[in-house]
Structure 1
Amino acid sequence: MGERDQVLRLLGDAGVLEGIRWAQGSAYRQVQQDFNPAGGHDQGWIGYNAYKYLLNRLDRVFQCEQYMAPDGEESVGRDVLADGMIGRDYQTMRLLPPDAVNRRDLNNSPGWMAEGWRWLLSSYKFGQVDKIRWSEKSETKATVARQPHGCDDGGLFPMTAIPALALPENPTDREREMRQTLVLAHAMDPDTLEFELFLGRSRWNADGGSAWVWKQNMLDLPPELGNRGSRLQPLDPTTPRGDVVADVELRVRRSARDGGTPRAIGEA
């Protein structure tokens, strides 16, 4: 079994993939609802708020930081998890066992870890996930992309063929954690309001090649993958069963771009 399949199986069985997809869907529905280009919102506004909402939803679904469950409890209070969200999002949120996912930041870059695998967030230009230049991102993202790996990334030679970058037989905990750090890449088109989400191992692409050793389109995963380790958030009688606010009416606009060149939403 290759690394990609192994990661997807581990995180899927633990319910993590479904939690990630829920977090992204909830975050970007909120962005779509709040986005007001006529009022001055632009792609920079999308980038900043998409990052903040996604950070919040990941912490919420995995019960990290301010949503951490008290010792001995299986969940933080329902009122805390539901606060500030539309009812539909709360009702479809997966409930994982306490500590199934932990916050594991890297150099102040928010990160989450489950089943020995950590992931960080990165935005990119919609439609150009393979063209991300890690040298233009933060030093943290560049460091992650430089990590040696045992996969065939399509380069001129494998990373493990370089003696200085060869995988040690007994790596330290820090080395193992660094080399098992993935990137969750997200983007939204400010004209059509379409969004994308990919999880994968980033690749140092100073050679001009692909930004990924491997990646998975999270929106293409079958619905049943990721439900086995989690259950739906139980409803509370005081929690609205309908949306607290009306469903967002998507303002799909024709693109004014020439040649279909994607636009950036900002880096987060």
Structure 2
Amino acid sequence: MLDLLADRGVLEALLWAHGSAYGQVRQDFNPEGGQKQGWIGYNAYTYLVDRLDRVFQCGDYQAPSGEGPVGRDVLAAGISDFAAMPDLAPGTVVRHDLNGSPGWMVDGWRWLLASYPFGQVTKIRWTDKSETKQTVARQPHNTDDGGLFTIEDVAGLPRLEELGDHEQLLRKTLVLAHAMDSNTVDFELFLGRIRWNQDRGDAWVWRSDLLDRQTPPPAGRTTPKLPDNPVPPSSTEANDAPVSIRRLPNDSSAPRAIGEA
């Protein structure tokens, strides 16, 4: 799976979006003005959705039908690290939300976002999360699902190709989980397949540490850093709250509220 993301340029884009989002948090964070840890979690999610849509030119940054790609000036508006943003062809990744929860899809694989307390990635209780995450975690999975999953077969489980499009995509929905340590300013960013851990076991069927695959930025590029003493994101999923994303000037529709359903 990671080879696919790397080959398509998606992995580099994910890492840029993550770094840019938290760089914006650093720029906007004002603890003296009363902003606290809930503000960090809420806005980190908001910025991450925005950066993912920018780099993939989808969502609020998708060109209207029949027009060419979104202009670079539109993609650069409002951010300071545009020069470091990978240049992907439009359509490489598309938006594919689930129950109002923002999702992105590449080659038939979708991912959603989730936050969690730093260092607790294996202990996320999906049973306590939103109905959307619970639905994803409950999906059966076995070795015939594209050869990706390695747990034992489930008796009577239909083969992936026997399912309808919606059920197939549910089976092929992953989670991009991110966290920050307020004391060390360390980050965690994992992509993987979640499991229904009502047994209080591991929260994942499998997961990959994306930051382990991060390479130094090319010469002339910088990676945004957080302040020395930031406040951590809330331990609850910040994306459960509705968030309004700025519409493009050429989009005449009303602002769209997004958030985890």
The partner residue of 1:79 within 66, 73, 79 is 73
What does residue range 25-44 of structure 1 map to in structure 2 within 5 Å?
25-44=19-38
Q: Does structure 2 retain, via aligned residues, the 8 Å contact 1:126–1:264?
A: no
Q: Which has the larger radius of gyration?
A: 1
Task: Report deviation, 1:74.
Answer: 6.2
Report the Cα distance in structure 2 between the residues aligned to 1:142 and 1:132, rounded to whole angstroms.
Answer: 12
State yes or no: 1:21 paired with 2:19. Answer: no
After superposing the two structures, state which structure 1 stretch, 109-118 or 33-42, moved more. Answer: 33-42
In the other structure, the counterpart of 1:138 is 130
Task: Report deviation, 1:173.
Answer: 1.2
- Structure 2: stretches of 5+ with no match in the other structure: 143-148, 240-261
Q: Does structure 2 retain, via aligned residues, the 8 Å contact 1:130–1:211?
A: yes
Aligned residues with identical type, % of pairs:
57
In the other structure, the counterpart of 2:188 is 196
Report the Cα distance in structure 1 between the residues aligned to 2:225 and 2:8, rounded to whole angstroms.
Answer: 31
In the other structure, the counterpart of 1:62 is 56
Task: Report deviation, 1:172.
Answer: 1.5
In the other structure, the counterpart of 1:117 is 109
Task: Report deviation, 1:185.
Answer: 0.4
Cα offsets for 1:99-145 (capped at 9, x unmatched):
11110000000000001100000111111011000011001001101
SS where residue 144 of structure 1 aligns?
Answer: helix
Alpha-carbon RMSD across the aligned residues, in angstroms, is: 2.7
Which structure would you say has the larger RCO, counting Cα contacts within 8 Å and 6 or more residues apart? Answer: 1
For 1:185, the aligned partner's letter is: A
The partner residue of 2:41 within 47, 68, 91 is 47
Report the Cα distance in structure 2 between the residues aligned to 1:242 and 1:120, rounded to whole angstroms.
Answer: 28
Report the Cα distance in structure 2 between the residues aligned to 1:81 and 1:64, rounded to whole angstroms.
Answer: 11
In the other structure, the counterpart of 2:150 is 152
Task: Report the count of equivalent residues.
Answer: 230
Task: Report deviation, 1:263.
Answer: 7.5
Q: Does structure 2 retain, via aligned residues, the 8 Å contact 1:43–1:266?
A: no
Gap change, CA 1:207 and 1:152, over 3 Å in 2:
farther
In the other structure, the counterpart of 1:266 is 236
SS where residue 210 of structure 1 aligns?
Answer: coil
Q: Does structure 1 retain, via aligned residues, the 8 Å contact 2:160–2:168?
A: no
TM-score (norm 2): 0.79
State yes or no: 1:9 paired with 2:3. Answer: yes
Q: Does structure 2 retain, via aligned residues, the 8 Å contact 1:44–1:266?
A: no
Gap change, CA 1:80 and 1:263, over 3 Å in 2:
closer
The partner residue of 1:90 within 67, 82, 87 is 82
Cα offsets for 1:67-117 (capped at 9, x unmatched):
11355766311111111101xx21111111121111000000000000110
